[in-house]
Amino acid sequence: MKALFRDALVYNMGKMSRANMLFDGTSLSVFEGEVSRLDDLSVFDNTVILPGFCDVHVHFREPGFSYKETIATGSRASARGGYTCVCTMPNLSPAPDSVENLALQLKLIDESACIKVIPYGTITVGESGEELSDLAGMADKVAGFSDDGRGVQSEDMMLLAMKEAARLNKPIVAHCEDNSLLRGGYIHDGEYARAHGHRGICSESEWGPIKRDIELVKKSGVSYHVCHISTKESVELIRRAKAEGVDITCETGPHYILLDDGWLKEDGRFKMNPPLRSREDRAEILRGIIDGTIDMIATDHAPHSAEEKSRGLEKSAMGVVGIETCFPLVYTYLVKTGIITMERAVELLSENPRARFGIEGDRGFTVFKLGESKKIDPAEFLSKGKSTPFEGMSTEAECLLTVYGGRAVYSKLN
């Protein structure tokens, strides 16, 4: 498996430059000879070579829900998306709330992952919010602590968790959701919900807990990371907290950057938590991407079975897949349009996640071919999950190769 990427756009030390790059089956090197003499190699034009991406928010569903996804299928799908590292959320069965339960997941990762997979431990036992998990026992084996899928409702419990996580030098990764404000909602409490008789989820259910937690971070000194922000108020709260010197970072997903509730259809592939918000929220999310308030793009890759996503907006399971479509969407609709630079895209997808979570070691690299329009087709996904709101949208970036640990973990070169 050898190839030449002719006049490729290459990321190196924060800058993009162009070079002929030779791939020998395991590694890349600059080729300075005569390209015309390489008649035994496949030659690819209009490519970009980037460090492997890092997604700090994915759901691989194993142990407990392997019919939705497994470590094996999730990691292969990640490689197809250009990712060489992911952090897996802990809403599993059993939940990784103890060393013993975490060991089950670590064994699966060791046996079947083709890229670097780092789990989270739960904040509370069973994500119940009632008793603190064994944070100290799990600390050296996890990316941080999260009760993703459920917000920690108790202020006292969150402060206790933050103090212990700070002592262990591990981040609290917060799913911010106030259950008392949900009122049975399942899409954004906006124009579409009112026009079609759906129960809405108000924006305060997200930004309210963020506001609470910012004050708790000041008291505890913990490193605090906010999952999947979707509202304009969340962006502004985090912007102000950063200006005050609070140790806070955040992520958003491609769907909150590119879609809003005006895109909704009576289809489960548009249902996720938090939901698609208003045009005004989307505009502020994009502003946060541009001005640096938002530190990273994470996919919240959340596969479900086809049946679970076939019940319409009200009754379908919450969650969509995204690990295989993220960079093609970011390139096509943010980089190619001039909204952000390629360097900024690399910061959002690779540099910032690794820096914030202290992820060191081999990053590998990924190669995408640019410029050829292709519609997103879930039938091509390697993930078990096929439900995406981006189905049928055109993108102009396709992964050719992802290398991690000195081997090709995904390749379309042959």
Give yes or no for residue 321 having a pLDDT over 70: yes
Q: Is the dihedral of CA 79, 81, 83, 88 positive or negative?
A: negative
Q: What are phi and psi of 362, to 5 degrees?
A: -55, 125
Give percent above pLDDT 90 in the chain. 96
Give yes or no for residue 46 having a pLDDT over 70: yes
> Which band of pLDDT confidence, cut at 50, 70 and 90, is reported for residue 40?
confident
* Cα 291 to the center of its chain, rounded Å: 20
Q: What are phi and psi of 85, to 5 degrees?
A: -150, 135
> Which band of pLDDT confidence, cut at 50, 70 and 90, is reported for residue 229?
very high
User: Is position 300 annotated as part of the catalytic site?
Assistant: yes
What domains lie within the chain, and their CATH numbers? 51-364 (3.20.20.140)
Give yes or no for residue 37 having a pLDDT over 70: no
Q: Yes or no: say if 304 and 385 are a contact pair by the CB < 8 Å rule.
A: yes
Q: Locate 47 and state its tokens.
A: 């490519």
Averaged pLDDT, 227-236: 98
Nearest to 230 by CA among 267, 269, 280: 280
Between 279-291 and 232-243, two packed helices, what is the crossing angle to 10 degrees?
30
Q: What is the pLDDT of residues 355-371, one digit of tens each?
A: 999 999 999 999 999 99
Q: What is the pLDDT of residues 366-401, one digit of tens each?
A: 999 999 999 999 999 999 999 999 999 999 999 999
Q: What is the pLDDT of residues 60-109, one digit of tens each?
A: 999 999 999 999 999 999 999 999 999 999 999 999 999 999 999 999 99
Between 155-168 and 204-220, two packed helices, what is the crossing angle to 10 degrees?
50
Which one of the listed residues 147, 300, 362, 377 is annotated catalytic?
Answer: 300
Q: What is the pLDDT of residue 2?
A: 87
Q: pTM score, two decimals?
A: 0.97
Q: Locate 283 and state its tokens.
A: 């505009």
- Return d(Cα 125, Cα 147) in angstroms, integer: 9
Instruction: State the average pLDDT for the chain.
Output: 97
Sequence-distant (≥ 6) Cβ neighbours of residue 17 within 8 angstroms: 9, 10
Amino acid found at 30: V
